[in-house]
């Protein structure tokens, strides 16, 4: 694995130090033995950190990794963010991935496994304007408007595996192949089903439909990834006068939705304007987009206090 910081505007850190190689004995390389999360950082503030920390903690438990230390992770993220060239912009993507570490041949988990935490920082595909309120001395985040999406269905299916469903593990070949379809068709995203014919997700996002004041999203007990935005959105909808339902969704149900949208940690709430030949309204989704961004701005984790200790 190599990084060309000034060309790709991406740099990876291990234990606070920039690296451009990884051991050929790393189990992440051999088996995809690990997990990750992708965060948005605006002006050295983490967005939706509580959901990301929940994901990391639960992933470690389910994949039988040793427990993670939240304060150590935050310190490693802070070190990476402060070292990243500020001329590339104040909005960054931080990908934090955990590998089981090195081992010899064989699938079995080593008795003395030493997990490795990598932090990769890159320029975000969106830019969030950050201003400080003079009186309250709090950060004001101004998010870009949502982009209406035109999508199609992918032929590539999401794998069914109950033991791994919901986890953002390091084997993402389903999404790799599906994204190839999306690129070839020149679409912005693609919708994926599993072998049972259930609609599951986008190639890099969770999927939602709105019908009769209810947000309906696919169950993820067999396939898919439980996104951090999806998790937190579930906690918010009651205050917006909406109901929440997780269920199996078929193609016919999806096309009868009042509105459709996707979500992920970087772009937030994304309205779907068109899916194949069907078009959808976007009014309620725009309201959700605003409410979600307001919640994010009010629940940031500011790294600047940690930065004072590091600089």
Q: Given this structure, which CATH class describes domain 149-297?
A: alpha beta
Q: Which residue has the higher pLDDT, 8 or 178?
A: 178
In this structure, what DSSP letter does residue 62 have? H
- The structure tokens 């890159």 sit at 122
Q: Please, what's the largest Cα pairwise distance for the chain?
A: 60
Residue with the two structure tokens 């039988």 = 64
In whole angstroms, give the CA distance from residue 143 to residue 145: 7
Q: Using a CB cutoff of 8 Å and minimum separation of 24, what contacts does 196-202 make?
A: 196/160, 196/222, 196/248, 197/250, 197/251, 198/222, 198/223, 198/248, 198/249, 198/250, 199/249, 199/250, 199/251, 199/253, 199/254, 200/158, 200/224, 201/158, 201/225, 202/151, 202/262, 202/264
Instruction: Give residue-wise pLDDT tens across range 224-260.
Output: 999 999 999 999 998 899 999 999 999 999 999 999 9
Closest to 222 (Cα-Cα) out of 172, 164, 155: 164
From the list 224, 248, 227, the residue with the least C-alpha distance to 165 is 224
User: For residue 245, what are the CA distances in angstroms to 11, 179, 237, 248, 249?
Assistant: 40, 28, 11, 10, 11
pLDDT of residue 192 exceeding 60, the answer is yes
Q: What per-residue confidence (pLDDT) applies to 17?
A: 85
Beta partners for residue 77, in sequence order: none
What pLDDT, in 10s, does the model give residues 251-262?
A: 999 999 999 999
User: Which helix (H) or strand (E) segment is 92 a member of?
Assistant: strand 91-99
Q: Please name the fold of domain 5-143+301-310.
A: D-amino Acid Aminotransferase; Chain A, domain 1 (3.30.470)
Compute the distance between CA of residue 89 and CA of residue 96 in angstroms, rounded to an integer.
Answer: 20
pLDDT at 5: 39
**pLDDT, averaged across the chain:** 91
Q: Torsions phi, psi of 187, nearest 5?
A: -95, 170
The model's pLDDT over 14-73, given as tens digits with 9 standing for 90+, comes to 977 899 888 999 999 999 999 999 999 998 899 999 999 999 999 999 999 999 999 999
| pTM to 2 decimal places | 0.92
In sequence order, which ranges of 49-185 are alpha helices (DSSP H)? Answer: 49-62, 70-83, 173-185
Burial class (CB in 10 A: 0-12, 13-18, 19+), 130: middle
Q: Which of 32-41, 125-134, 179-188, 189-198 has the lowest mean pLDDT?
A: 125-134
What's the confidence (pLDDT) of residue 87? 67
User: What residue spans define the domains of the chain?
Assistant: 5-143+301-310, 149-297
The mean per-residue pLDDT over the stretch 127-145 comes to 73
Which of 173, 191, 170 has the alpha carbon at shortest distance from 182? 191
At residue 6, does pLDDT exceed 60? no
β-bridge partners, 270: 262
pLDDT band at 219 (very low <50, low <70, confident <90, very high): very high
What's the pLDDT at 1? 29
């Amino acid at each position: 694995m190599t990084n060309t910081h000034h060309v790709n505007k991406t740099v990876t850190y291990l234990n606070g130090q920039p690296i451009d190689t990884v051991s050929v004995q790393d189990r992440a390389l051999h088996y995809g033995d690990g997990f990750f999360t992708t965060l948005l950082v605006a002006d050295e503030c983490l967005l939706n950190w509580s959901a990301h920390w929940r994901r990391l903690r639960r992933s470690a438990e389910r994949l039988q990794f040793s427990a993670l230390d939240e304060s150590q992770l935050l310190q490693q993220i802070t070190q990476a963010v402060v070292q990243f060239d500020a001329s590339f912009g104040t909005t960054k993507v931080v990908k934090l991935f955990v590998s089981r570490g090195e081992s010899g041949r064989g699938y079995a988990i080593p008795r003395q496994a030493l997990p490795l935490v990598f932090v990769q920082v890159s320029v975000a595909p969106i830019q969030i304007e950050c201003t400080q309120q003079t009186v309250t001395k709090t950060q004001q985040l101004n998010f870009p408007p949502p982009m209406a999406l035109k999508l199609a269905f992918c032929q590539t299916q999401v794998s069914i595996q109950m033991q791994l469903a919901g986890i953002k593990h390091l084997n993402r070949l389903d999404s790799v192949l599906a994204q190839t379809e999306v690129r070839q068709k020149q679409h912005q995203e693609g919708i994926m089903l599993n072998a049972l014919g259930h609609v599951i997700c986008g190639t890099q996002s969770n999927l939602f439909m709105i019908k009769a004041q209810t947000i309906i999203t696919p169950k993820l007990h067999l396939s898919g990834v439980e996104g951090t935005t999806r998790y937190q959105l579930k906690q918010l909808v009651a205050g917006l006068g909406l109901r929440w339902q997780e269920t199996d969704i078929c193609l016919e149900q999806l096309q009868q939705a009042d509105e459709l949208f996707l979500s992920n940690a970087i772009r937030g709430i994304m309205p779907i304007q068109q899916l194949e030949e069907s078009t959808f309204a976007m009014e309620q989704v725009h309201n959700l987009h605003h409410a979600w961004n307001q919640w994010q701005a009010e629940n940031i984790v500011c790294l600047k206090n940690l930065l004072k200790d590091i600089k």
